[in-house]
A and B are shown apart, each in its own frame.
Chain A
Amino acid sequence: MSHETHEHGCGCGCHDEKTNPYEELTPVLEKYADVPGSLITVLQKAQEIYGFLSFDLMRTIALETDISIAKVYGVATFYTQFRFEPIGKYLVMLCQGTACHVNGSERVEEVVMETLNIKEGETTADGLFTLNNVACLGCCSLSPVMMVNDTTYGQLTPDKVKNILAEIKEKNHSQEGQK
């Protein structure tokens, strides 16, 4: 990391830790160092590893790739895939495609918000659920649809949604209990 440009005690955190907190990213940065136009790919890999793009992480990428921090931030905020806050253990993705809208996704959204007591983009206080609206998930025949992590749930009704969320909570609770 090029620290020369920063004064000691600059407050940015670059001097605080002697070890590189983003060690896992090093092979990614090396792999794409000579491939022009790889910023989006690097950001995607970084998000895969760390779950979200913190300001510190984006600054590290900027310094390592010699791209200005303004540009890294500009590119990251342009695309909906990138997140800037940590997410909950379960990411609830509500499909907002046309077919889902026509088949009542709004009701589904209301019930999810009511049950989890969070709004779009927020995470529950217990860190369990994050709610995200997404563009079409592409299984329009099952609309309205939501995805929780890797599982797709289709033909949703308010009651079905409540049950699904309760089941996940229950399952998580018993898993935690076993630990």
Chain B
Amino acid sequence: MKIVIGKGSCGIAAGANKIQRAFEEIFSVKGLDIPIETTGCIGACFLEPIVDVFDDAGNKITFVNVTTDNAREIVEQHIVEKQALKDLQITEADMTMIGKQKRIVLKNSGIINPEQIEDYLAVDGYAAAKKCLTELTPEEIIDTVKIAGLKGRGGAGFPTWFKWNAAYKSPGAVKYMVCNADEGDPGAFMDRSVLESDPHALIEGMLIGARAIGANEGVVYVRAEYPLAIVRLQNAIDQARESGYLGKNIFNTGFDFDLRIKAGAGAFVCGEETALIASLEGERGMPRLKPPFPAQKGYWNKPTNINNVETFANVPWIFRNGGEAYAAIGTKDSKGTKVFALTGKIAHGGLVEIPMGLTLRDVIYDIGGGIKNNKEFKAVQMGGPSGGCVPDSLLDTLIDYGEITRTGAIMGSGGMVVMDETTCMVDMARFFLDFTCKESCGKCTYCRVGTKRMLEILTRITKGLGVDGDIELLEELCYKIKEGSMCGLGQTAPNPILTTIKYFRNEYEDHIYNKKCTARSCKALLTYAISEDNCIGCGSCKKKCPVQAIDGEKKKVHKINQDLCIKCGKCFSVCKFEAVLVD
């Protein structure tokens, strides 16, 4: 018997360490000698903390949303008295959420112990690398990736084989294999989860890629905000080195490859490959013009290949199962699976991995369980600050690089933020512009000044100060910034504005001409009033109002003085009789 606790960052944030301490305490009091093991993230964040109890025959029972009180029940009633405790267990419905996925990248996540290389080896780990190093030539490796049709999962969707081939063909004795783990999209955490839950899959993928291009040195550039990912990856690198999967003469082939971690210091633009290289070299992370491409002149001016975490994590599976098997999954142009971080106003948020070719509706409703609190779906944001908002009418769009791009959004790295009727789309555009404006490196004038000007206009509109011509001015700026920026950050920064204007122009117009925010989210545009029918004159709103804008005698209808009201909404939240109206 053993118990296994899911301890990714999100599990820990939900209280996994507290739960572990509770189990340890109960075990020691009761004198039970049951090992407690760690696993990564299964992806069902809404069920965290998750505890698996394995009986002696290896059968698994999964308990979800475990509290310290539940821990006692699980030990006393389930482990000792052998009761099922059905109401604490994962439900059939939640199981199907996980069952509907196709797991390649997340195959081992939440199942193996990411801190033990033995666990990875037990699921055929490093077998693909062994095959590539001992049986295949670099050309054959690149060819297999070409057959598989793997595209870069970081956002741009560039064919992986093409990049590998360019780096392979590039002359030079010293080459570098770099992994971009600088996952900067606000609302995306796929790569963090892989690093925390299955770090050896990344190492194996990089080893195979390094063999293909002829690199003996690799670097993983990880966001500094991911401390646990750095610890687990470093541990995995050390173990792989001890076991001979990194270092000199790997699999007795004479091939050397070693790997180190470089912690980023917080700059979204470092996701752009030339900026990432500058940052690796200790400089300000500012992009430069291409060509020369990194495959010709990259890290220290040597041929360099850069892929993101998810891309590398696909590679071992491709070699275990064959390029054809991978290409059999998905659509004509988009092969394999894609991991998404499903968040926002979604019922079942978390990490999901699905075969390409499902529709957005499948993901949001079938897997994600639809919208939280029975609200109405409004849009799904894909691709973060470089992406866009896809409306209800396009929910049957296939998950495919080309199809998603046609909506104006992008596949992106995998952020999928679901929004309901209470999300204001103008405010959403403002939110992303605030982000890109802060993250612009400042090199290109259009990006540096343009994002700032657009942010000012959007802020003005959300404050009720929009004027006729603002929408057209925004559109003009959008196209100019796209054309006048050198790197992806500036070229895509206008996307959140363009898609919201395209699909939700009426919301912009409401803000500008009618001074109304239909989502009731832009504070400056709201009016609070008290309903004569519902108000019983209890006085709680009057007491709570920070500016004494509410007047009224006890047991008589109260009134809000609009000249004094600062629209803080405190009266609305405190009223128990639904007497405060917002418009």
Contact = CB atoms under 8 A, between A and B. Distances in A.
Interface of A: 36-41, 43-44, 74-75, 78-82, 96-99, 101-103, 110, 134-143, 145, 152, 154, 158
A141 B369 CA distance: 14
A82 B285 CA distance: 14
Contacts of A137: 13, 225
A103 B265 contact: no
Nearest to A82: B265
Contacts of A81: 224, 265-266
Given A134-B225, A135-B225, A145-B13, A99 B344 contact: yes
Interface stretch (B108-116, B162-170, B181-189, B400-408): B181-189
B187 A98 contact: yes
A101 B431 contact: yes
B267 A78 contact: yes
B52 interface: no
Contacts of A39: 282-283
Most buried by A among B184, B187, B300: B187
Contacts of A158: 573
B417 A102 contact: yes
Contact of B45 (A74, A103, A134, A142): A142
Contact of A138 (B225, B268, B280, B281): B225
B497 to A, nearest CB: 15
Most buried by A among B286, B343, B384: B343
Nearest to B344: A102
A41 B187 CA distance: 27
Contacts of A82: 265
B265 A98 contact: no
Given A98-B343, A98-B381, A138-B10, A80 B188 contact: no
Interface size class of B (residues with CB under 8 A): 35 or more
7 tightest CB-CB pairs across the interface, nearest first? A141-B45, A98-B187, A79-B265, A152-B13, A80-B266, A99-B343, A140-B343
Given A78-B285, A98-B343, A103-B345, A138 B267 contact: no
A139 B344 contact: no
Given A79-B285, A103-B345, 18 more contacts: A37-B281, A41-B282, A75-B283, A79-B266, A79-B267, A80-B266, A80-B267, A81-B224, A97-B186, A98-B432, A99-B187, A136-B186, A138-B10, A139-B9, A140-B341, A140-B343, A141-B349, A154-B13
5 contacts: A37-B283, A78-B267, A79-B267, A98-B381, A139-B189
B446 interface: no
Given A40-B279, A102-B423, A136 B188 contact: yes
B368 to A, nearest CB: 11
A139 B10 contact: yes
Most buried by A among B14, B192, B226, B441: B14
Given A80-B266, A138-B226, A102 B345 contact: yes
Contacts of B573: 158
A173 B120 CA distance: 47
A64 to B, nearest CB: 14
B12 interface: yes
B355 interface: no
Interface in B325-363: 341, 343-345, 349-350
Nearest to B48: A141
Contact of A141 (B281, B282, B350, B423): B350
B530 interface: no
Contact of A140 (B45, B268, B279): B45
A103 B344 contact: yes
B46 A136 contact: no
B417 A141 contact: no
Nearest to A136: B186
Nearest to A42: B282
Given A99-B417, A101-B431, A152-B12, A141 B280 contact: no
Contacts of A136: 185-189, 225
B447 interface: no
Contacts of A110: 568
A135 B268 contact: yes
Nearest to A65: B282
A152 to B, nearest CB: 4
A138 B12 CA distance: 12
Given A38-B282, A136-B189, A141 B10 contact: yes
Interface in B248-283: 262-268, 279-283
B284 interface: yes
Interface string B32-52: 000000000000011010000
A19 to B, nearest CB: 29
Contacts of B266: 79-81, 135
B281 A36 contact: yes
A159 B185 CA distance: 29
Contacts of A40: 262, 265, 279, 282
Nearest to A67: B282
A75 B185 CA distance: 22
B224 A98 contact: no
Given A40-B279, A101-B431, A102-B423, A140 B225 contact: no
Contacts of B426: none
Contacts of B189: 136, 138-140
Given A82-B265, A98-B415, A142 B14 contact: yes
